[in-house]
Amino acid sequence: MFNDFFSKLKNGLNKTKENFTDKLNSILGIAISIDEDLYEEIEEMLITSDISADTAFEIIEELRKIIRERKINDPEMIKPVLKEIMVEMLGDIEDSSEEKFPKIIVMIGINGVGKTTSIGKLAHHFKNEGKEVLIAAGDTFRAAAIEQLQVWADRVDVKMIKHDQGSDSSAVIFDAIKSFKAKSGDVLICDTAGRLHNKKNLMNELKKISRIIENEYTEAEKEIYLVLDSTTGQNALNQAIEFKEIANITGLILTKLDGTAKGGMILSIKKKLGIPVKYIGVGEGIDDLQRFHPQSFVDALL
């Protein structure tokens, strides 16, 4: 099972790996000693892998410190030290066995990032773990959003609560919670409208949804997952910063990692915001939304 996971992850990160590891190997392959020029080349390589300049600088400073403390002279030893620094920066692995249920997950993110697909794949993931899953079609604003989500609900064979387009999204969430609670469900995944350009409306909508969840199912574990498109690189970081201003985000889902060379942005997002990456999308298959494991990610990258 783990070998399959790692193989998918490694294949999914192939474009980022080519951009990151191949450049690093090239730099280290011709390096004779560890000097200032080498540090500068590695820092430039990190930045071109879509790691922000301040995060790249911090990685290099930590690299200098460890190289100095351990009296390392061989340039080839830089790679394992970099892996160590990156794993530390991405944080500890979350123990899925300690995950609490019942759980209500509110999904946020702008249109086009893969939110609908992520909801479907997340529902499939939890169902495969033996959980009773319900979806709430809370994006009543966008045309076809309800229909697209229904296709995924049918595909993964889970029930979906929906109202007509244009109706109050919080009313959909209210009805979904009632059904979820009555049937003692394990996971309720709530879609929301992706309208970041109108932050005030979105903030009010999320506050209303949060109040309903708190009032109607106080004892449920509550999560807010922000879905980001990895192919947009630093733009994804900017979106995360804006969403953090209006929502108490508890986790990130990074989609389309298989289609980008910009996977390094995970480090910048984690460092800048301190929000854990919960899941990553490494392919188009229904099983290709995977729990994020920092060590596995860095191993596959390097």
- Residue 16's CB is within 10 A of a number of other CB atoms, namely 24
CA 108/CA 265 separation, integer angstroms: 19
Q: Is residue 300 within 8 Å of residue 288, measured between CB atoms?
A: no
Which of 3.30.565.10, 1.20.120.140, 3.30.420.10, 3.40.50.410 is the CATH number of 2-90?
1.20.120.140
CA 102/CA 58 separation, integer angstroms: 39
The full set of domain ranges for the chain reads: 2-90, 97-293
Residue located via tokens 């999320």: 206
The architecture that CATH gives domain 97-293 is 3-Layer(aba) Sandwich (3.40)
Q: Is residue 73 within 8 Å of residue 33, measured between CB atoms?
A: yes
Q: Are strands 221-229 and 133-136 parallel, antiparallel or unpaired?
A: unpaired
CA 82/CA 71 separation, integer angstroms: 15
Per-residue pLDDT tens, the chain, 302 aa: give them: 445 556 767 777 777 777 788 889 999 999 999 999 999 999 998 888 778 899 999 999 999 999 999 999 999 999 999 999 999 999 866 666 678 999 999 999 998 899 999 999 999 999 999 999 999 999 998 878 999 999 999 999 999 999 999 999 999 999 999 999 999 999 999 999 887 667 788 888 889 999 999 999 999 999 999 999 988 887 888 889 989 988 999 999 999 887 776 777 888 888 888 999 999 998 888 998 999 989 888 888 77
Which residues lie closer than 8 Å to 289 by C-beta, 6 or more apart?
A: 118, 121, 122, 124, 125, 253, 279, 280, 281
| Single pTM value for the model | 0.91
Please tell me if the domain spanning 2-90 has the same topology as the one spanning 97-293. no
Among residues 133, 138, 223, 124, which one has the least CA distance to residue 187? Answer: 133
CB-count exposure of residue 203 (10 Å: 0-12, 13-18, 19+) = middle
